[in-house]
Protein backbone atom coordinates (compact mmCIF):
# COMPACT_ATOMS: atom_id res chain seq x y z
CA UNK A 1 0.00 0.00 0.00
CA UNK A 2 1.20 3.50 -0.77
CA UNK A 3 2.14 5.68 2.17
CA UNK A 4 -0.01 8.70 2.97
CA UNK A 5 0.43 12.37 3.86
CA UNK A 6 -0.99 12.66 7.35
CA UNK A 7 -0.40 16.38 7.87
CA UNK A 8 2.02 19.26 7.35
CA UNK A 9 3.45 22.16 9.31
CA UNK A 10 4.57 25.44 7.78
CA UNK A 11 6.35 28.15 9.75
CA UNK A 12 7.88 31.54 9.09
CA UNK A 13 10.15 33.51 11.39
CA UNK A 14 10.31 37.28 11.09
CA UNK A 15 14.03 38.06 11.10
CA UNK A 16 14.52 41.80 10.44
CA UNK A 17 17.87 42.18 12.22
CA UNK A 18 19.15 38.99 10.59
CA UNK A 19 18.39 40.56 7.18
CA UNK A 20 20.80 43.37 8.05
CA UNK A 21 23.50 41.33 9.76
CA UNK A 22 23.38 37.79 8.29
CA UNK A 23 22.05 37.92 4.72
CA UNK A 24 24.95 37.32 2.32
CA UNK A 25 23.94 40.19 0.02
CA UNK A 26 24.46 42.50 3.00
CA UNK A 27 27.52 40.80 4.51
CA UNK A 28 29.21 40.79 1.09
CA UNK A 29 28.37 44.46 0.56
CA UNK A 30 29.87 45.30 3.96
CA UNK A 31 33.15 43.78 2.79
CA UNK A 32 33.36 45.10 -0.76
CA UNK A 33 31.51 48.41 -0.42
CA UNK A 34 31.08 49.26 3.26
CA UNK A 35 29.97 52.86 2.66
CA UNK A 36 27.39 51.99 0.01
CA UNK A 37 24.11 53.84 -0.30
CA UNK A 38 22.35 50.47 -0.20
CA UNK A 39 23.63 49.67 3.29
CA UNK A 40 22.60 53.13 4.48
CA UNK A 41 19.15 52.86 2.91
CA UNK A 42 18.26 49.25 3.73
CA UNK A 43 17.30 49.82 7.40
CA UNK A 44 14.56 52.17 6.16
CA UNK A 45 13.04 49.30 4.17
CA UNK A 46 12.64 46.77 6.97
CA UNK A 47 9.05 45.75 7.64
CA UNK A 48 7.39 45.61 11.04
CA UNK A 49 6.24 42.27 12.46
CA UNK A 50 2.63 43.39 12.00
CA UNK A 51 3.21 44.06 8.28
CA UNK A 52 4.92 40.69 7.87
CA UNK A 53 1.98 38.89 9.53
CA UNK A 54 -0.55 40.81 7.42
CA UNK A 55 1.33 40.12 4.17
CA UNK A 56 -0.99 37.87 2.15
CA UNK A 57 1.65 35.44 0.78
CA UNK A 58 2.77 34.83 4.40
CA UNK A 59 -0.82 34.22 5.50
CA UNK A 60 -1.09 31.74 2.62
CA UNK A 61 2.09 29.97 3.75
CA UNK A 62 0.66 29.25 7.20
CA UNK A 63 -2.76 28.27 5.83
CA UNK A 64 -4.98 31.24 6.67
CA UNK A 65 -5.58 31.94 2.99
CA UNK A 66 -5.71 29.48 0.09
CA UNK A 67 -3.57 29.95 -3.03
CA UNK A 68 -6.82 30.47 -4.95
CA UNK A 69 -7.84 33.27 -2.59
CA UNK A 70 -4.39 34.85 -2.93
CA UNK A 71 -4.69 34.69 -6.73
CA UNK A 72 -7.87 36.75 -6.57
CA UNK A 73 -5.83 39.72 -5.34
CA UNK A 74 -4.03 41.74 -7.95
CA UNK A 75 -0.23 41.62 -7.84
CA UNK A 76 1.93 43.01 -6.40
CA UNK A 77 0.64 42.03 -2.97
CA UNK A 78 3.16 44.04 -1.00
CA UNK A 79 1.52 46.97 0.74
CA UNK A 80 -1.95 45.37 0.57
CA UNK A 81 -2.22 43.99 4.06
CA UNK A 82 -4.81 41.38 4.95
CA UNK A 83 -7.33 42.51 7.54
CA UNK A 84 -7.51 40.52 10.77
CA UNK A 85 -4.35 38.61 9.85
CA UNK A 86 -3.30 36.14 12.52
CA UNK A 87 0.03 34.93 13.83
CA UNK A 88 -1.25 31.34 13.85
CA UNK A 89 -2.74 29.41 10.96
CA UNK A 90 -3.95 25.85 10.47
CA UNK A 91 -0.49 24.83 9.20
CA UNK A 92 1.74 26.81 11.55
CA UNK A 93 2.73 30.30 12.58
CA UNK A 94 4.76 33.42 11.92
CA UNK A 95 7.07 33.67 14.92
CA UNK A 96 8.51 37.05 15.92
CA UNK A 97 12.29 37.42 16.05
CA UNK A 98 12.60 37.89 19.83
CA UNK A 99 10.85 34.61 20.60
CA UNK A 100 12.88 32.86 17.93
CA UNK A 101 16.15 33.99 19.53
CA UNK A 102 15.03 32.32 22.76
CA UNK A 103 14.12 29.20 20.79
CA UNK A 104 17.63 29.29 19.25
CA UNK A 105 19.08 29.31 22.76
CA UNK A 106 16.91 26.30 23.63
CA UNK A 107 18.21 24.50 20.52
CA UNK A 108 21.85 25.07 21.50
CA UNK A 109 23.17 22.17 23.56
CA UNK A 110 26.83 23.25 23.62
CA UNK A 111 26.56 26.51 25.57
CA UNK A 112 27.20 28.64 22.50
CA UNK A 113 24.10 30.86 22.46
CA UNK A 114 23.98 33.51 25.18
CA UNK A 115 21.15 35.99 25.62
CA UNK A 116 20.89 39.13 27.70
CA UNK A 117 19.06 38.22 30.91
CA UNK A 118 16.75 41.23 30.67
CA UNK A 119 15.85 40.23 27.13
CA UNK A 120 15.12 36.66 28.24
CA UNK A 121 13.03 37.89 31.12
CA UNK A 122 10.99 40.13 28.79
CA UNK A 123 10.53 37.46 26.11
CA UNK A 124 10.23 34.05 27.67
CA UNK A 125 6.57 34.31 28.72
CA UNK A 126 5.69 35.26 25.13
CA UNK A 127 7.36 32.10 23.86
CA UNK A 128 5.70 30.02 26.56
CA UNK A 129 2.31 31.20 25.29
CA UNK A 130 2.94 29.52 21.93
CA UNK A 131 0.61 26.48 21.85
CA UNK A 132 3.27 24.16 20.39
CA UNK A 133 5.96 25.16 22.89
CA UNK A 134 5.67 22.79 25.83
CA UNK A 135 7.13 22.80 29.31
CA UNK A 136 9.93 20.51 28.14
CA UNK A 137 11.17 23.25 25.84
CA UNK A 138 10.64 26.10 28.31
CA UNK A 139 12.64 24.15 30.90
CA UNK A 140 15.67 24.55 28.63
CA UNK A 141 15.48 28.37 28.56
CA UNK A 142 18.56 29.72 30.31
CA UNK A 143 18.33 32.75 32.57
CA UNK A 144 20.74 34.75 30.45
CA UNK A 145 23.85 36.81 31.19
CA UNK A 146 24.78 40.48 31.58
CA UNK A 147 24.70 42.63 28.47
CA UNK A 148 28.27 43.75 29.17
CA UNK A 149 29.48 40.15 29.00
CA UNK A 150 27.72 39.67 25.65
CA UNK A 151 29.49 42.75 24.31
CA UNK A 152 32.81 41.40 25.56
CA UNK A 153 32.20 38.03 23.86
CA UNK A 154 31.44 39.81 20.58
CA UNK A 155 34.35 42.26 20.85
CA UNK A 156 36.99 39.89 22.20
CA UNK A 157 35.92 36.29 21.63
CA UNK A 158 34.82 36.29 17.96
CA UNK A 159 31.19 35.70 18.93
CA UNK A 160 28.47 36.38 16.34
CA UNK A 161 26.22 39.17 17.61
CA UNK A 162 22.44 38.66 17.89
CA UNK A 163 20.37 41.80 17.51
CA UNK A 164 16.72 42.59 18.09
CA UNK A 165 15.27 45.92 17.00
CA UNK A 166 18.82 47.19 16.55
CA UNK A 167 19.92 46.29 20.09
CA UNK A 168 22.57 43.72 20.94
CA UNK A 169 20.63 41.11 22.90
CA UNK A 170 22.82 38.05 22.61
CA UNK A 171 25.57 36.23 20.77
CA UNK A 172 26.65 32.88 19.39
CA UNK A 173 30.13 31.83 20.47
CA UNK A 174 32.47 29.96 18.18
CA UNK A 175 32.59 26.22 18.87
CA UNK A 176 36.29 25.89 18.02
CA UNK A 177 39.31 28.21 17.97
CA UNK A 178 40.51 27.27 14.49
CA UNK A 179 37.91 25.13 12.70
CA UNK A 180 35.97 27.37 10.25
CA UNK A 181 33.15 24.81 10.16
CA UNK A 182 32.52 25.52 13.83
CA UNK A 183 32.99 29.28 13.62
CA UNK A 184 30.50 31.56 15.37
CA UNK A 185 28.87 32.50 12.06
CA UNK A 186 28.43 28.88 10.92
CA UNK A 187 27.07 27.90 14.32
CA UNK A 188 24.62 30.82 14.12
CA UNK A 189 23.39 29.69 10.67
CA UNK A 190 23.09 26.08 11.78
CA UNK A 191 21.32 26.77 15.06
CA UNK A 192 18.85 29.09 13.27
CA UNK A 193 18.21 26.31 10.74
CA UNK A 194 17.77 23.75 13.52
CA UNK A 195 15.44 25.98 15.56
CA UNK A 196 13.14 26.73 12.60
CA UNK A 197 13.06 23.00 11.81
CA UNK A 198 12.09 22.25 15.42
CA UNK A 199 9.22 24.75 15.15
CA UNK A 200 8.06 23.16 11.89
CA UNK A 201 8.25 19.66 13.43
CA UNK A 202 6.13 20.74 16.39
CA UNK A 203 3.46 22.20 14.12
CA UNK A 204 3.49 19.16 11.81
CA UNK A 205 2.95 16.79 14.74
CA UNK A 206 0.06 18.96 15.94
CA UNK A 207 -1.48 19.27 12.46
CA UNK A 208 -1.24 15.53 11.81
CA UNK A 209 -2.75 14.71 15.19
CA UNK A 210 -0.11 12.11 15.96
CA UNK A 211 1.73 11.32 19.15
CA UNK A 212 5.35 12.48 19.19
CA UNK A 213 6.36 8.95 20.18
CA UNK A 214 4.89 7.60 16.91
CA UNK A 215 7.61 9.21 14.80
CA UNK A 216 10.29 6.66 13.93
CA UNK A 217 12.44 8.59 11.48
CA UNK A 218 13.11 12.20 10.46
CA UNK A 219 14.70 13.34 7.21
CA UNK A 220 16.10 16.88 7.14
CA UNK A 221 16.26 18.39 3.65
CA UNK A 222 17.50 21.91 4.35
CA UNK A 223 20.58 23.39 2.68
CA UNK A 224 22.98 23.97 5.56
CA UNK A 225 25.75 21.57 6.53
CA UNK A 226 26.88 20.77 10.05
CA UNK A 227 30.14 19.10 10.82
CA UNK A 228 33.72 19.86 11.70
CA UNK A 229 37.01 20.26 9.84
CA UNK A 230 37.29 16.51 9.38
CA UNK A 231 33.79 16.06 7.91
CA UNK A 232 32.24 19.34 6.88
CA UNK A 233 28.76 17.97 6.18
CA UNK A 234 28.76 15.17 8.74
CA UNK A 235 25.24 15.93 10.00
CA UNK A 236 22.79 15.34 11.51
CA UNK A 237 20.22 18.16 11.65
CA UNK A 238 17.33 15.69 11.58
CA UNK A 239 18.15 13.88 14.79
CA UNK A 240 19.29 17.07 16.50
CA UNK A 241 15.95 18.77 15.79
CA UNK A 242 13.98 15.61 16.67
CA UNK A 243 15.71 15.63 20.08
CA UNK A 244 14.53 19.16 20.91
CA UNK A 245 11.07 18.49 19.49
CA UNK A 246 10.72 15.51 21.82
CA UNK A 247 10.47 12.81 19.14
CA UNK A 248 11.97 10.26 21.51
CA UNK A 249 11.52 7.23 19.26
CA UNK A 250 12.97 8.83 16.15
CA UNK A 251 16.29 8.41 14.44
CA UNK A 252 17.03 10.40 11.33
CA UNK A 253 19.40 11.59 8.68
CA UNK A 254 20.07 14.55 6.42
CA UNK A 255 19.40 14.57 2.71
CA UNK A 256 20.91 17.29 0.55
CA UNK A 257 20.26 18.31 -3.04
CA UNK A 258 19.87 22.09 -3.07
CA UNK A 259 16.25 23.08 -3.81
CA UNK A 260 15.40 19.58 -5.08
CA UNK A 261 16.05 18.06 -1.64
CA UNK A 262 12.47 18.31 -0.29
CA UNK A 263 11.09 16.32 -3.25
CA UNK A 264 13.92 13.76 -2.94
CA UNK A 265 13.20 13.51 0.81
CA UNK A 266 9.46 13.03 0.29
CA UNK A 267 10.11 10.18 -2.14
CA UNK A 268 12.61 8.61 0.27
CA UNK A 269 10.19 8.93 3.20
CA UNK A 270 7.27 7.52 1.21
CA UNK A 271 9.46 4.60 0.10
CA UNK A 272 10.67 3.84 3.64
CA UNK A 273 7.08 3.77 4.88
CA UNK A 274 5.77 1.75 1.93
CA UNK A 275 8.59 -0.77 2.40
CA UNK A 276 7.59 -1.16 6.03
CA UNK A 277 10.96 0.06 7.33
CA UNK A 278 9.24 2.72 9.44
CA UNK A 279 5.56 3.43 10.08
CA UNK A 280 5.85 7.20 10.46
CA UNK A 281 8.51 9.46 8.93
CA UNK A 282 8.70 13.25 8.99
CA UNK A 283 10.42 15.26 6.27
CA UNK A 284 11.56 18.56 7.73
CA UNK A 285 13.56 21.65 6.83
CA UNK A 286 14.51 24.79 8.66
CA UNK A 287 15.34 28.15 7.15
CA UNK A 288 18.39 29.84 5.73
CA UNK A 289 19.67 33.09 7.26
CA UNK A 290 22.14 33.63 4.39
CA UNK A 291 19.29 34.15 1.91
CA UNK A 292 17.60 36.91 3.90
CA UNK A 293 17.47 40.06 1.80
CA UNK A 294 19.06 38.26 -1.15
CA UNK A 295 17.37 40.56 -3.69
CA UNK A 296 17.40 43.52 -1.30
CA UNK A 297 19.35 45.79 -3.65
CA UNK A 298 16.61 45.61 -6.28
CA UNK A 299 13.84 45.98 -3.72
CA UNK A 300 15.47 49.05 -2.16
CA UNK A 301 16.23 50.55 -5.60
CA UNK A 302 12.53 50.24 -6.50
CA UNK A 303 11.36 51.72 -3.21
CA UNK A 304 9.96 48.43 -1.96
CA UNK A 305 10.33 46.92 1.51
CA UNK A 306 13.03 44.25 1.89
CA UNK A 307 10.47 41.49 1.38
CA UNK A 308 12.89 38.62 2.03
CA UNK A 309 12.64 39.15 5.77
CA UNK A 310 11.45 35.74 6.96
CA UNK A 311 13.06 32.38 7.58
CA UNK A 312 10.93 29.52 6.27
CA UNK A 313 10.43 26.03 7.59
CA UNK A 314 8.17 23.11 6.84
CA UNK A 315 7.60 19.53 7.95
CA UNK A 316 5.42 16.82 6.41
CA UNK A 317 4.23 13.70 8.23
CA UNK A 318 4.25 10.56 6.06
CA UNK A 319 2.73 7.44 7.53
CA UNK A 320 1.47 3.97 6.67
CA UNK A 321 -1.76 3.91 4.69
CA UNK A 322 -4.70 4.75 6.94
CA UNK A 323 -7.34 4.35 4.26
CA UNK A 324 -8.18 8.06 4.43
CA UNK A 325 -5.33 10.42 3.68
CA UNK A 326 -3.98 11.11 0.19
CA UNK A 327 -1.29 8.77 -1.09
CA UNK A 328 2.10 9.37 -2.63
CA UNK A 329 2.18 7.37 -5.86
CA UNK A 330 5.65 5.81 -6.13
CA UNK A 331 4.87 4.21 -9.49
CA UNK A 332 5.04 7.54 -11.29
CA UNK A 333 8.26 9.23 -10.17
CA UNK A 334 9.91 11.85 -12.33
CA UNK A 335 13.68 11.95 -12.45
CA UNK A 336 16.18 14.21 -14.20
CA UNK A 337 19.01 11.81 -14.96
CA UNK A 338 22.68 12.41 -15.69
CA UNK A 339 22.00 11.85 -19.37
CA UNK A 340 18.72 13.79 -19.62
CA UNK A 341 20.25 17.02 -20.91
CA UNK A 342 19.44 20.59 -20.06
CA UNK A 343 17.06 21.67 -22.82
CA UNK A 344 13.77 22.81 -21.24
CA UNK A 345 11.75 20.14 -23.07
CA UNK A 346 14.13 17.45 -21.78
CA UNK A 347 13.90 18.80 -18.23
CA UNK A 348 10.10 19.07 -18.18
CA UNK A 349 9.83 15.85 -20.15
CA UNK A 350 11.79 13.92 -17.53
CA UNK A 351 10.02 15.49 -14.56
CA UNK A 352 6.46 15.71 -15.88
CA UNK A 353 5.64 13.85 -19.11
CA UNK A 354 7.76 10.72 -18.56
CA UNK A 355 6.40 9.82 -15.09
CA UNK A 356 2.81 10.47 -16.18
CA UNK A 357 3.32 8.23 -19.22
CA UNK A 358 4.27 5.41 -16.82
CA UNK A 359 0.76 5.65 -15.40
CA UNK A 360 -0.89 6.08 -18.80
CA UNK A 361 -1.69 9.71 -18.01
CA UNK A 362 -1.44 12.96 -19.92
CA UNK A 363 -0.10 16.30 -18.67
CA UNK A 364 -3.67 17.59 -18.49
CA UNK A 365 -4.64 14.73 -16.16
CA UNK A 366 -2.86 16.45 -13.28
CA UNK A 367 -5.13 19.03 -11.69
CA UNK A 368 -2.43 21.09 -9.99
CA UNK A 369 1.33 21.28 -10.45
CA UNK A 370 3.58 22.65 -7.73
CA UNK A 371 7.07 23.39 -9.09
CA UNK A 372 9.10 26.34 -7.77
CA UNK A 373 6.59 28.38 -5.76
CA UNK A 374 8.58 31.58 -5.26
CA UNK A 375 6.56 34.68 -4.52
CA UNK A 376 6.59 36.89 -7.65
CA UNK A 377 6.51 40.00 -5.43
CA UNK A 378 10.11 39.10 -4.59
CA UNK A 379 11.42 37.86 -7.93
CA UNK A 380 9.79 40.21 -10.45
CA UNK A 381 11.36 43.46 -9.17
CA UNK A 382 14.71 41.63 -9.16
CA UNK A 383 14.42 40.74 -12.84
CA UNK A 384 13.93 37.00 -12.28
CA UNK A 385 10.32 37.13 -13.48
CA UNK A 386 7.41 35.06 -12.20
CA UNK A 387 9.13 31.72 -11.56
CA UNK A 388 6.03 29.53 -11.04
CA UNK A 389 4.43 31.04 -14.16
CA UNK A 390 7.58 30.33 -16.20
CA UNK A 391 7.41 26.70 -15.10
CA UNK A 392 3.70 26.41 -15.97
CA UNK A 393 4.31 27.87 -19.41
CA UNK A 394 6.95 25.23 -20.05
CA UNK A 395 4.72 22.39 -18.80
CA UNK A 396 1.84 23.69 -20.95
CA UNK A 397 4.10 24.06 -23.98
CA UNK A 398 5.21 20.45 -23.62
CA UNK A 399 1.56 19.38 -23.42
CA UNK A 400 0.93 21.20 -26.72
CA UNK A 401 4.04 19.65 -28.27
CA UNK A 402 2.86 16.20 -27.18
CA UNK A 403 -0.56 16.79 -28.73
CA UNK A 404 -2.27 16.66 -25.32
CA UNK A 405 -3.37 20.29 -25.26
CA UNK A 406 -4.77 22.54 -27.96
CA UNK A 407 -2.51 25.52 -28.57
CA UNK A 408 -5.51 27.80 -27.97
CA UNK A 409 -5.71 26.50 -24.40
CA UNK A 410 -2.07 27.20 -23.62
CA UNK A 411 -2.78 30.70 -22.28
CA UNK A 412 -5.28 29.36 -19.72
CA UNK A 413 -3.10 26.37 -18.70
CA UNK A 414 -1.20 28.19 -15.88
CA UNK A 415 -4.42 29.36 -14.19
CA UNK A 416 -6.14 25.98 -14.59
CA UNK A 417 -3.27 23.67 -13.64
CA UNK A 418 -1.06 26.04 -11.69
CA UNK A 419 -0.88 28.21 -8.62
CA UNK A 420 0.48 31.65 -7.86
CA UNK A 421 3.71 31.61 -5.86
CA UNK A 422 3.60 32.52 -2.18
CA UNK A 423 6.83 31.18 -0.72
CA UNK A 424 9.81 33.23 0.45
CA UNK A 425 13.09 32.80 -1.46
CA UNK A 426 14.54 30.43 1.11
CA UNK A 427 16.15 28.03 -1.37
CA UNK A 428 14.66 24.61 -0.68
CA UNK A 429 11.51 25.99 1.00
CA UNK A 430 9.66 27.14 -2.18
CA UNK A 431 10.56 24.04 -4.18
CA UNK A 432 7.25 22.18 -4.53
CA UNK A 433 6.84 21.79 -0.78
CA UNK A 434 4.56 24.77 0.03
CA UNK A 435 1.57 23.16 -1.73
CA UNK A 436 1.75 19.74 -0.03
CA UNK A 437 -0.46 20.87 2.89
CA UNK A 438 -3.05 22.42 0.58
CA UNK A 439 -2.86 19.46 -1.84
CA UNK A 440 -3.70 17.09 1.02
CA UNK A 441 -6.71 19.22 1.96
CA UNK A 442 -7.88 19.75 -1.63
CA UNK A 443 -7.73 16.01 -2.35
CA UNK A 444 -9.51 15.13 0.90
CA UNK A 445 -12.21 17.67 0.03
CA UNK A 446 -12.54 16.25 -3.48
CA UNK A 447 -11.57 19.59 -5.05
CA UNK A 448 -8.74 18.00 -7.02
CA UNK A 449 -7.89 14.45 -7.93
CA UNK A 450 -4.19 14.59 -8.58
CA UNK A 451 -1.30 16.95 -7.74
CA UNK A 452 2.30 16.80 -8.86
CA UNK A 453 5.12 18.13 -6.68
CA UNK A 454 8.25 19.05 -8.62
CA UNK A 455 11.60 19.79 -6.98
CA UNK A 456 14.41 21.34 -8.98
CA UNK A 457 17.94 21.88 -7.74
CA UNK A 458 20.87 23.99 -8.94
CA UNK A 459 23.64 21.50 -8.34
CA UNK A 460 26.07 23.66 -10.30
CA UNK A 461 26.18 26.13 -7.39
CA UNK A 462 28.29 23.62 -5.45
CA UNK A 463 30.86 23.56 -8.29
CA UNK A 464 30.96 19.75 -8.32
CA UNK A 465 28.99 19.32 -11.53
CA UNK A 466 27.40 21.49 -14.16
CA UNK A 467 24.31 19.35 -13.96
CA UNK A 468 20.92 20.54 -12.91
CA UNK A 469 18.74 18.17 -10.86
CA UNK A 470 15.10 17.46 -10.27
CA UNK A 471 12.60 14.83 -9.16
CA UNK A 472 8.82 14.75 -8.99
CA UNK A 473 6.00 12.72 -7.49
CA UNK A 474 2.23 12.73 -7.59
CA UNK A 475 -0.28 12.81 -4.76
CA UNK A 476 -3.64 11.12 -5.30
CA UNK A 477 -6.76 10.19 -3.32
CA UNK A 478 -6.52 7.22 -1.01
CA UNK A 479 -7.07 4.20 -3.22
CA UNK A 480 -7.29 1.91 -0.20
CA UNK A 481 -10.52 3.51 0.94
CA UNK A 482 -11.90 3.48 -2.59
CA UNK A 483 -10.85 -0.12 -3.10
CA UNK A 484 -12.46 -1.10 0.18
CA UNK A 485 -15.68 0.60 -0.87
CA UNK A 486 -15.51 -1.14 -4.25
CA UNK A 487 -14.82 -4.54 -2.74
CA UNK A 488 -17.54 -4.00 -0.19
CA UNK A 489 -20.11 -3.16 -2.87
CA UNK A 490 -19.01 -6.11 -4.99
CA UNK A 491 -19.20 -8.34 -1.96
CA UNK A 492 -22.75 -7.22 -1.21
CA UNK A 493 -23.76 -7.85 -4.84
CA UNK A 494 -22.10 -11.25 -4.68
CA UNK A 495 -23.92 -12.17 -1.49
CA UNK A 496 -27.26 -11.12 -2.97
CA UNK A 497 -26.57 -13.07 -6.16
CA UNK A 498 -25.53 -16.11 -4.15
CA UNK A 499 -28.65 -15.90 -1.98
CA UNK A 500 -30.92 -15.50 -5.01
CA UNK A 501 -29.23 -18.44 -6.74
CA UNK A 502 -29.63 -20.59 -3.64
CA UNK A 503 -33.27 -19.46 -3.32
CA UNK A 504 -33.91 -20.29 -6.98
CA UNK A 505 -32.24 -23.68 -6.56
CA UNK A 506 -34.42 -24.36 -3.51
CA UNK A 507 -37.56 -23.42 -5.47
CA UNK A 508 -36.48 -25.66 -8.37
CA UNK A 509 -35.72 -28.50 -5.98
CA UNK A 510 -39.12 -28.03 -4.35
CA UNK A 511 -40.80 -28.03 -7.80
CA UNK A 512 -38.91 -31.21 -8.80
CA UNK A 513 -39.93 -32.84 -5.54
CA UNK A 514 -43.56 -32.01 -6.25
Interface residue list for another protein (CB under 8 A): 258-259, 341-344, 347, 372, 374, 379, 382-385, 387, 390-391, 425, 427, 430, 456, 458, 460-461, 466, 468
Backbone angles phi and psi of 318, in degrees to 5: -115, 125
Q: Residue 443 in contact with residue 422, Cβ under 8 Å? A: no
Give whichever of 147 and 341 is closer to another protein, judged by the CB atom.
341
Quote the CA–CA distance of 247 and 211 in Å, as a whole number: 9
Calpha distance 221→228 (Å, rounded): 19
CB of 474 to another protein, least distance (A): 21
Instruction: Compute how many other C-beta atoms are within 10 angstroms of the C-beta atom of residue 188.
Output: 25
Residue (of 215, 184, 212) closest to 108 by Cα position:
184
**Alpha helices, H only, 24-182:** 24-32, 37-41, 49-54, 56-61, 67-71, 97-107, 117-128, 135-138, 147-156
- Pick the closer one to another protein by CB: 110 or 460: 460
User: What b-and-e string marks burial along 318-330, b requiring 16 or more CB atoms within 10 Å of the CB?
Assistant: bbbbeeebbbbbe
Q: What is the DSSP string of 328-380?
A: EEEEEEEE--TTS-SSHHHHHIIIIIHHHHHTT--GGG-SEEESB-B-HHHHT
Question: Contact at 8 Å (CB) between 61 and 93?
Answer: no
| Distance (Å, whole) CA 226 – CA 352 | 33
* Distance between CA atoms of residues 255 and 38, nearest Å: 36
Closer residue to another protein (CB): 194 or 456 = 456
Minimum separation from the CB atom of position 213 to another protein (A): 38
Is the backbone of residue 240 left (phi > 0), alpha (psi -120 to 50) or beta? alpha
Distances (CA, A) of 188 to 112, 114, 159, 354, 452: 9, 11, 9, 42, 35
- Report whether the peptide linkage leading into residue 76 is cis, meaning its omega lies within 30 degrees of zero: yes
- Give the torsion through C-alpha atoms of 183, 187, 190, 196, to 10 deg: -160
Burial degree of 464 (CB within 10 A; 0-12, 13-18, 19+):
exposed
As a whole number of Å, the CA-based R_g of the chain is: 25
CB within 8 Å of 226: residues ≥ 6 apart: 190, 233, 234, 235, 236, 237, 240
Contact 187, 174 (CB under 8 A): yes
**Which run of H or of E encompasses 438?**
helix 436-444
- 443 CB contacts (<8 Å, ≥6 apart)? 326, 449, 451, 475, 476, 477
164/105 Cα distance (integer angstroms): 14
Residue number with CB closer to another protein (183 or 289): 289
Amino acid sequence: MNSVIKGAGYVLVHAPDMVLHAGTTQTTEKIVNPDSEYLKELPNHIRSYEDVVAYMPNQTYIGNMTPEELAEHEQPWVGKNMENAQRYGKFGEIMPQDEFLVLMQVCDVFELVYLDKEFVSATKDKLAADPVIGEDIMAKVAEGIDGAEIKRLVDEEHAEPLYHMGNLVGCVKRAHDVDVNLSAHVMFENIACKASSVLALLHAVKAAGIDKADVEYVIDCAEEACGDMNQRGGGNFAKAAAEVAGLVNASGSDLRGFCAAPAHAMIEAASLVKAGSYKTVIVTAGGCTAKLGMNGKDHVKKGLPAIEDVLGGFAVVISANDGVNPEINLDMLGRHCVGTGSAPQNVIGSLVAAPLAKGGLKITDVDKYSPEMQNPDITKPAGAGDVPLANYKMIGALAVKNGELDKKELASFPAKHGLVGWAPTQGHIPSGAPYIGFAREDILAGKINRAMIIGKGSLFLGRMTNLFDGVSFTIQPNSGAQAEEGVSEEKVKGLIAKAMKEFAETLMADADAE
